[in-house]
Amino acid sequence: MMPFAGFDMPVQYTGIIDEHMAVRETAGIFDVSHMGEIEVRGPHAFDFVQRLVTNDASKLYDGRAMYSAMCNPRGGILDDLIVYRVSADHYLIVVNASNIENDFDWMVSNNPMKADLRNVSDVTALIAIQGPRSIEIVQAVTDRDVGSIEFYHFDRMEPGEFLECRSAYISHTGYTGEPGLEIYCENESAGRVWDALLEAGRNAGLKPAGLGARDTLRLESGYCLYGNDIDEDTNPIEAGLGWVTKLDAGDFIGRDAIADIKAAGPARRRVCFVMLDRGLARGGYPIYDESDAHVGVVTSGSQSPVLGKGIGMGYVRSEARLTAVGSKVRIGVRDRRLQAEVQKPPFHK
């Protein structure tokens, strides 16, 4: 166990590699109730969301979700998040645990349309079940056809319909690169949901998984971790999040700054890499080119249980010789320079 964002969180149960491989091969279950949930309601809910995030909320419909970023006026990323449209006047925004208070304060102070904002993080639990057999396991505890929920869609359960929960959303989303579902419910039902899923998955290889495996899984998939790979001093263009930044979607906060960065081209870009030499890259390690010039910094790194090699991501100068797939760079590990190759994730595929 370790403290994380005000919670005591499990780092591992049976071991990081064991849990990681369970998610890749069968299924893993995560208690991620530390994540933040903010409800947006009222006749101006859409206008608020459209101004708040970089993606285009007009593409949402009831039961649809989207990944996006929330930026400051300089285009810096305040958080990456998921927006769920429950109805035309009801949205759910899921934010990172370390940012809950700051995110909610930002939303309140940037709400000229007076949408109704409620921070429901403290009364909402979130359980993620991920892996090739995850949907089959959830299906064993409900009559609802969860296999029909499309990627980045969700079903809203009627009271008592899912394991006697008063309120529950089942969402086809996740942070592992595997098929899976995320279940939102009230806190007092979380233990019952967890136990029921563990029992249903007992013969399917389901294992509890902690923060350690969650980190290696997301890194193999090439997903950013807020505070490591993206932050308030990082913009979506350099972070490779241009695909969730719709400059024609309206005047969202930070739009003009991001448009200028895109037009001029960012000074650096996020790249993912696989170690060619034996060794691990860690956050903060310098990145060099083949002539030993310092060209960037590692933001995340670990061992890939699937590849059996070190992997990582970081930022380098936005030159094709450094960012193109197949480019060779060197990672400064103490007094050594270890060879690495820029590759396109997901690595586990």
> Exposed, middle or buried, 308 (CB in 10 Å: 0-12/13-18/19+)?
exposed
Q: Which residues contact 215 (CB under 8 A, 6 or more apart)?
A: 225, 300, 302
User: Which whole number is the average pLDDT over 60-87?
Assistant: 98
The answer to which of 3-7, 127-131, 229-233 has the lowest mean pLDDT is 3-7
pLDDT band of residue 67 (cuts 50, 70, 90) is very high
Residue 100's pLDDT band, with cuts at 50, 70 and 90, is very high
Category of 17 on φ-ψ map: left (φ > 0), alpha (ψ -120 to 50) or beta: alpha
Kindly tell me if the per-residue pLDDT of 5 is higher than 90: no
pLDDT score recorded for residue 300: 98
CATH number, domain 27-204: 3.30.1360.120
Measure the CA angle with vertex 52, ends 47 and 54; round to 5°. Answer: 110
Question: 146 falls in which pLDDT band (50, 70, 90)?
Answer: very high
Task: Supply 298's token pair.
Answer: 């590692």
What are the φ and ψ backbone dihedral angles of 188, each rounded to 5 degrees? -70, -15
> Residue 202: pLDDT band by 50, 70, 90 thresholds?
very high
Which residues have C-beta within 8 Å of that of residue 326, sequence separation ≥ 6? 341, 342, 343
Beta carbons of 223 and 23 less than 8 angstroms apart: no
Q: Mean of the pLDDT values across residues 145-164?
A: 96
Instruction: Please state the rounded mean pLDDT for residues 322-330.
Output: 98
Q: What's the chain's length in residues? A: 349
Q: Is the dihedral of CA 144, 148, 151, 155 positive or negative?
A: negative
- Residue 146 tokens read as 């969860």
**Cα–Cα distance measured from residue 275 to residue 42, given in angstroms and rounded to the nearest whole number:** 50
For tokens 């969860």, what's the residue? 146
Largest distance between two CA atoms of the chain: 64
Rounded Cα distance between 193 and 198, Å, is: 9
Tokens at residue 247, please? 């400059």
pLDDT 10s digits, 261-297: 999 999 999 999 999 999 999 999 999 999 999 999 9
Give the residue extent of every domain in the chain: 27-204
- Does residue 39 surpass a pLDDT of 90? yes
pLDDT (0 to 100) of residue 266 = 98
Is the peptide bond between 208 and the residue preceding it cis, with omega within 30 degrees of 0? no
Write a three-state SS string for the chain: CEEECCEEECCCCCCHHHHHHHHHHCEEEEECCCCEEEEEECCCHHHHHHHHECCCHHHCCCCEEEEEEEECCCCCEEEEEEEEEEECCEEEEEECHHHHHHHHHHHHHCCCCCCEEEECHHHEEEEEEECCCHHHHHHCCCCCCHHHCCCCEEEEECCCCCCCCCCEEEECCCCCCCCEEEEEEEHHHHHHHHHHHHHHCHHHCEEECCHHHHHHHHHHHCCCCECCCECCCCCCCCCCCHHHCCCCCCCCCCHHHHHHHHHHCCCEEEEEEEECCCCCCCCCCEEECCCCCEEEEEEEEEEECCCCEEEEEEEEECCHHHHCCCCEEEEEECCEEEEEEECCCCCCC
By percentage, how much of the chain surpasses pLDDT 90?
Answer: 98
